[in-house]
């Protein structure tokens, strides 16, 4: 039997498209600074704002999606994402950009919550790690496609038209999922009878049982330490490379290579988990690699050759990519109940979103104030060290 079905492909494809919307802003920051007169700090705020919805509502949306239906929420999320991107045609000032990025964040968040929960319920135990490895690549593939293709398309189209096209793609996929995919009936066939349990459990009970489950909180902090520094580094690399004299197209190609390297880590971690490697080893290795390589990219950029800086950035993304696959896989195992899977992912994403909201903004403010990119290494080192400490605590206190 194939490890992945056509239904799985549609679910994962929705995640890839959602991630493209996250990455599309970093690909055009230099253009937006001119068109909308954005400061660098405002650009950093815009980059982080897509995470505001997750920071505020992830846990509640995760619990709500279990009650409303995962397929229905997935379709609604694609529609919200699509309409918000289409509305980019009318962006003429930063305030409009902020509002639409927040709305896109709601769509992105809901897709990120529903997709792994659907995969959990429709997968056999022996194929789940493989599918989670594939799912965890959605950020790497989506962001890399955005930073690679959008600078090329800017030679023929303006950025608002590109955003409108991406919005139309969301609506098309939402229509295809509604018309051809029958997800909900498949969920009730699972032996854990999770659908029946969900119907007998209130929204607030799902929230409470998730909030009081310490392993999920530990995993949320671990994931936040990874995502906040990854989105910061990959989001600002195009600007750093442009400042170093590269044109936007070449900078986009280099950053897309960095982001694509993340896929090696996400796919590789899925296979390593499938072969029995310990999650603690994969998480610790990822954080050590991110700590060392980020220091080379930023703290050593005054004396390290540009080529070695790029290689270090690739290693940062490649080896660090083992972290999200591992976190998503063991979050589903650590979920307090089967019907709390989406809520558990929601809590992980909510704490992660808080970090992704504040870290890029504070990083941009720090760089703007000091005009010194090496200061970014201080932030990445602290996050990596916190991730290693929380990993050690999780597996010592809650071995599983």
We report the CATH number of the domain holding residue 134 as 1.20.1250.20
Residue 245 lies in a domain: yes
Residue 166 lies in a domain: yes
pLDDT, residue 1, reads 41
Spatial separation of the C-alpha atoms in residues 320 and 20, rounded to whole Å: 20
Range of the domain at 80: 6-397
pTM over 0.75: no
Q: How many CA atoms lie within 13 A of 155 on its CB side?
A: 8
pLDDT, residue 182, reads 67
Q: What angle do CA 166, 172, 175 make, to 5 degrees?
A: 145
Residue 1 lies in a domain: no
Residue 237 reports pLDDT greater than 80: yes
State the CB neighbour count (10 A cutoff) for residue 349: 30
pLDDT, residue 400, reads 65
339 pLDDT tier (thresholds 50, 70, 90)? low
Q: Determine the 3-state secondary structure of 350 from DSSP.
A: helix
Q: Look over the chain and give the mean of its residue pLDDT values, rounded to a whole number.
A: 83
Residue 193 reports pLDDT greater than 60: no
Q: How many CA atoms lie within 13 A of 66 on its CB side?
A: 34
In our burial notation (b when 16+ CB lie closer than 10 A, e otherwise), range 369-384 reads: eeeebeebbebbbebb
pLDDT per residue over 227-236, tens digit each? 999 988 888 8
Residue 63 lies in a domain: yes
Residue 318 reports pLDDT greater than 90: yes
Residue 348 reports pLDDT greater than 60: yes
Residue 286 reports pLDDT greater than 90: yes
Residue 125 lies in a domain: yes
State the CB neighbour count (10 A cutoff) for residue 158: 14
pLDDT, residue 315, reads 94
Number of domains in the chain: 1
Residue 155 reports pLDDT greater than 80: yes
């Amino acid at each position: 039997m194939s490890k992945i079905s056509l239904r799985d492909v549609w679910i994962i494809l929705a995640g890839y498209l959602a991630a493209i919307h996250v990455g599309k802003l970093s690909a055009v920051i230099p253009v937006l600074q001119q068109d909308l007169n954005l400061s660098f700090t405002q650009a950093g705020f815009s980059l982080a704002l897509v995470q505001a919805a997750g920071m505020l509502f992830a846990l509640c949306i995760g619990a709500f999606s279990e009650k409303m239906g995962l397929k229905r929420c997935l379709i609604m999320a694609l529609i919200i994402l699509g309409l918000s991107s289409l509305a980019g045609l009318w962006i003429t000032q930063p305030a409009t950009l902020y509002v639409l990025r927040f709305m896109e964040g709601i769509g992105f968040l809901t897709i990120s919550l529903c997709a792994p929960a659907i995969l959990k319920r429709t997968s056999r135990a022996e194929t789940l790690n493989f599918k989670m490895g594939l799912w965890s690549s959605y950020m790497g593939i989506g962001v890399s496609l955005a930073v690679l293709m959008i600078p090329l398309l800017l030679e023929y189209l303006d950025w608002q038209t590109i955003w409108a096209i991406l919005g139309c793609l969301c609506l098309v996929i939402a229509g295809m999922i509604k018309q051809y995919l029958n997800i909900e009936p498949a969920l009730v066939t699972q032996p854990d009878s999770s659908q029946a349990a969900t119907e007998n459990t209130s929204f607030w009970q799902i929230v409470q049982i998730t909030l009081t489950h310490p392993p999920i909180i530990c995993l949320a902090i671990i994931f936040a330490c990874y995502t906040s520094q990854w989105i910061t580094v990959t989001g600002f690399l195009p600007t750093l490379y442009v400042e170093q004299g590269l044109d936007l197209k070449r900078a986009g190609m280099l950053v897309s290579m960095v982001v694509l390297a993340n896929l090696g880590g996400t796919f590789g971690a899925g296979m390593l988990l499938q072969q029995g490697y310990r999650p603690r080893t994969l998480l610790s290795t990822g954080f050590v690699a991110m700590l060392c390589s980020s220091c080379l990219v930023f703290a050593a950029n005054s004396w390290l050759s540009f080529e070695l800086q790029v290689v270090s950035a690739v290693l940062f993304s490649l080896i660090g990519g083992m972290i999200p696959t591992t976190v998503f896989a063991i979050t589903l195992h650590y979920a307090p109940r089967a019907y709390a899977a989406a809520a558990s992912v929601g809590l992980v994403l909510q704490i992660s979103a808080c970090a992704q909201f504040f870290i890029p903004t504070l990083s941009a403010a720090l760089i703007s104030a000091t005009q010194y990119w090496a200061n970014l290494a201080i932030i990445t080192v602290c996050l990596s060290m916190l991730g290693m400490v929380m990993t050690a605590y999780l597996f010592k206190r809650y071995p599983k």
